[in-house]
Structure 1
Amino acid sequence: MSVSRRSVEDAPLNAFHRKLTVYSAGGPFLDGYVLSIIGVVMMQISGALQLSALWEGLIAASALIGVFLGGFLGGWFTDKYGRKVLYLVDLIAIIGFSVAQFWVESAWLLFVWRLLIGIAVGADYPIATSLLAEFLPRKQRGPLLAAMVLMWFAGAAIAYLVGEILLRVAGDDGWRWVLASAVVPGALFLIARSGTPESPRWLLSKGRRAEADAVIKKVYGPDYSIADLPEPSSDQHVSVWSLFHSGYGKRMAFVTLFWTCAIVPLFAIYAFAPKVLTALKLTGDWASYGSIAITFLFTLGCLFATKLINRMGRRKMLIHSFLWSGLALVLLGLNPDASPTTVLLLFGAYAVFIGGAQVLEYVYPNELFPTEIRASAVGLATSLSRIGAAVGTYLVPISLVSLGTANTMFAAALISLFGALISWWLAPETSQLDLQQAASLGNAPARTERSPAAPSTARKA
């Protein structure tokens, strides 16, 4: 009778895991902060720099275009050169480019700086999440990766709050201080990140067994070694080209499509929240405070999803998230002249329900691909999903003028409902699998909620 081996994935959560989760949260927090802050100051920037509708759309979409450029390149560099080095360089870049926005005097220069911010943000998605995923125990992997998205929304919520305060106290140049304010949280996270070790899974994939073993002993204790790490040997190579064909190509299509459907309405709402709410007849402080309230509800929705991710399962959560959030947008389209309270309630319902899809953006890509291409897969999904997000964000002000508020809401609803269909068709269930099993094509997870395959039958991906 065979005896199942011990695995670091079944080790208890320790102090290192908790610290790494906090350190890794710095990237998503800053991502949410710098990408959302533009929505707070877009009206002020438009007046100060005399922006046309064309430039408003370009500046709002510029960071998303940058994410498209930086996502795959950042993931590829992370898989090639390691998680640790890219981890620090990328955070420094986000801080520097954010500060540079303070001195802009033209629309094109603001576009350039936000494009560069987007490139750095795009690179951060695969860096932070792949490093964390490769250290976490099986039971905590889903909730703690989901918590990274929660930190994204926390960053966005703080951005709206800080932005509103600075605009009220800093005068005509308040928008400059708002855009540059990311330097404060960025510096704090940069200091906290020092001393983080390299991923032992990545080291093992490069044949650096002694270094991997030393990291495992340091993190899990002297009784553990690389023999307890469920990871294939370095002679079993999977190249980045695997993302474009065979089983991994299908997984890549699923991740890209659901991620796109999750963020297209969301980024459009974030970039133009005051304008959308104004179009829905919310004026003055209703629009400003409504934007802050909806942002905090996005955070609350992610918090609920994080708590339920293991109990509910990945697949079921994704389908229900798209379905109910899409229904909330349909109701907004049917009631464009509703009272401010009704509008805020429906927007709030969308914000809460879409949390399930949002938290899975970091979970699924890290679970469905092996170590050799994990960061590349996250980066490529980040890049491809931002094509739709950038186009959607660019079209929002045009759509509000040409199609009207109701039809704009209906278009956003169709995107969410399409996400539900894609999830029903392609979403697997991985909550009971270790990282190697989930990533193995020879052990493709079934659609049932509790379907762990025996390790003895798993192909080492």
Structure 2
Amino acid sequence: MSKQKYTIDDVPFKKFHLRIAGFTFGASFCDGYALGIIAMALTVLGPQLELNAMWTGLIGSSALIGVFVGALVLGRLSDRIGRQKVFLISFLLIAIVTILQFFVSSPVELFILRLLIGFGLGGDYAVGTTLLAEFSPKKYRASLLASLNVLWTLGYVASNFVGYYLGQIGSDSWRWMLVSATIPAIVVLILRIGTPESPRWLVSMGRVEEARQIVKKHLGPNVEMGETITSTDNQTAAGFRGLFSKKLRKRTAFGGIFKLTIVIPYFAIYTFLPTILRTMGFEQNFFADTMLNLFLLVGAIVGLWLLAKFSRRGFTIGSFAVLTVSLFALSIMHTGSQFLMLVAFLVFTFFMSAASNLTLVYPAELFPTEIRGSGIGMVTAISRIGSAIGTFLLPVSLNSLGLNASMIAMAVILLIGLIVSIAWAPETKSLSLNEASNPLLDTGNSSEETDIPLQEIRK
């Protein structure tokens, strides 16, 4: 009896899938840790380096600015030279530069190093998500991609606890906080050596036999590609021009605005969480900080269930609605009961973390293989430059306008995300990666697995 034949989209979950997921999960943990530890370090290095509000905002947002550039440059590069090379190079850069943070002596040096760390993280946001999506079976794709947010949140929460305890060792504790991110970065770098190239990318470049060999070696001889080669033009990716073609520009706009309006309040608020808690009157804020970090982690985990339970559109729209209302409630209760403020903040935190799962699932499903790296890179870049601006402006806003006005501004941003999602969010749940990334199927007709010819994308 012959073995049952599978495609990449419907193959049963294998140890290899767990391995690829582990490499990407580890990177996601590092991303959350590296971006979270700066919030704790700023509370110590700010007075030591005599940072004003501008420098505090610049250093707090520097990694996010780097993510903007790295996502664009390395995301596009991954469409040209392959996922695997960028997958390795990005963490080599992160590991080296993270060590150098220990030796900085001025705000300028730290700002530049944080930019470079962000550059590497930007490449990993684009390429790690892409590689995991392109290897994942349809049945497990959303859960695996969303789990990246759980690990990101775990890294962020871990950085808060590590930072809290390292903060007790003296005035130079911030150096140890920042360099502590080197340990997980080096572990991830070593484990990534030997990662295979994405078979979907190889097919899109016309290198079909190489793709088949990788699939046979890692997924089994009874697994076929199941990819449609539509044109010899696939040997050259369409790049950024394809993202703004007639057929894809709405998806590019939705992906960018959707992610932008989630990450602006996320990064702005949680980068300066200790400062915000003090402004709210929580002078001894360890309890409040611990509760919020716990709700971040629980929200990310429960978000996996919500992602499986609800449609992509429904989860997105519902999350934006709850986030807008809860943050607006927090802003108007600023001078009221601390208990009610904390409850509103916990509700906001829970749903913000749950909704953040979508930011790692949706972008991978919006774009065809030929420009998936560029597409995820573009969406990430749009979101991160916005979050960098928001993170830079928040301490200035808190200084000049106060907490109430600052939180209302964040609530308005979330309201924009709600409106855009109602108008443009496509439904991609339960579709193969080819179907999900095909805007011609946005009407709901997914009976055929169809890919968009590259010449059509360019129109």
TM-score bin (small chain) = over 0.9
- What is the aligned partner in structure 2 of residue 146 from structure 1? 146
Q: How far did residue 344 of structure 1 move?
A: 2.4
When structure 1 is superposed on structure 2, of 288-297 and 411-420 the one drifting more is: 288-297
Q: Distance in 2 between matches of 1:272 and 1:69?
A: 23
Equivalent runs, 1:315-394 vs 2, <5 Å: 315-394=313-392
Distance 1:104 1:458, change over 3 A: closer
- What is the aligned partner in structure 2 of residue 455 from structure 1? 448
1:183 aligned onto 2:182: yes
CA contact (8 A) 2:6 2:224 kept: no
Using structure 2 for the length normalisation, give the TM-score.
0.94
Q: How far did residue 154 of structure 1 move?
A: 1.0
Identity %: 38
When structure 1 is superposed on structure 2, of 423-432 and 356-365 the one drifting more is: 356-365
User: For each residue in 1:88-124, what CA deviation from the matched residue of structure 2 results, as whole angstroms up to 9, or x when unmatched?
Assistant: 1111111111111111111111111111111111111
Distance 1:121 1:457, change over 3 A: closer
- What is the aligned partner in structure 2 of residue 95 from structure 1? 95
CA contact (8 A) 1:317 1:356 kept: no
User: For each residue in 1:249-290, what CA deviation from the matched residue of structure 2 results, as whole angstroms up to 9, or x when unmatched?
Assistant: 111000000100000011011211000111111102x2x442
C-alpha RMSD of the superposition: 1.6
- What is the aligned partner in structure 1 of residue 130 from structure 2? 130
Q: How far did residue 452 of structure 1 move?
A: 5.5
Q: Distance in 1 between matches of 2:337 and 2:14?
A: 50
CA contact (8 A) 2:91 2:185 kept: yes
Q: Distance in 2 between matches of 1:137 and 1:126?
A: 19
Matched to 1:372, the amino acid is E
CA contact (8 A) 1:254 1:427 kept: yes
CA contact (8 A) 1:154 1:296 kept: no
Equivalent runs, 1:370-449 vs 2, <5 Å: 370-443=368-441, 445-446=442-443
User: For each residue in 1:419-451, what CA deviation from the matched residue of structure 2 results, as whole angstroms up to 9, or x when unmatched?
Assistant: 1111111101111210111112332x23xxxx4
Structure 2: tracts of 5 or more residues without a match: 455-459
Q: How far did residue 7 of structure 1 move?
A: 2.8
Q: How far did residue 234 of structure 1 move?
A: 5.3
- What is the aligned partner in structure 2 of residue 116 from structure 1? 116
- What is the aligned partner in structure 2 of residue 222 from structure 1? 221
CA contact (8 A) 1:261 1:419 kept: yes
Q: How far did residue 401 of structure 1 move?
A: 1.8
- What is the aligned partner in structure 1 of residue 204 from structure 2? 205
Q: Distance in 2 between matches of 1:74 and 1:289?
A: 40
Distance 1:25 1:452, change over 3 A: farther
Q: Distance in 2 between matches of 1:263 and 1:322?
A: 12
CA contact (8 A) 1:206 1:234 kept: no
Q: Distance in 2 between matches of 1:17 and 1:231?
A: 22
Q: How far did residue 236 of structure 1 move?
A: 4.7
Matched to 2:32, the amino acid is G
Q: How far did residue 293 of structure 1 move?
A: 2.8
Using structure 1 for the length normalisation, give the TM-score.
0.93
CA contact (8 A) 1:365 1:378 kept: yes
User: For each residue in 1:195-220, what CA deviation from the matched residue of structure 2 results, as whole angstroms up to 9, or x when unmatched?
Assistant: 22111001111111111001111222
Matched to 2:297, the amino acid is T
CA contact (8 A) 2:367 2:437 kept: yes
Distance 1:77 1:10, change over 3 A: same
Distance 1:208 1:115, change over 3 A: same
Q: Distance in 1 between matches of 2:367 and 2:220?
A: 27
Q: Distance in 1 between matches of 2:11 and 2:450?
A: 22
Secondary structure of 2:247's partner? Answer: helix
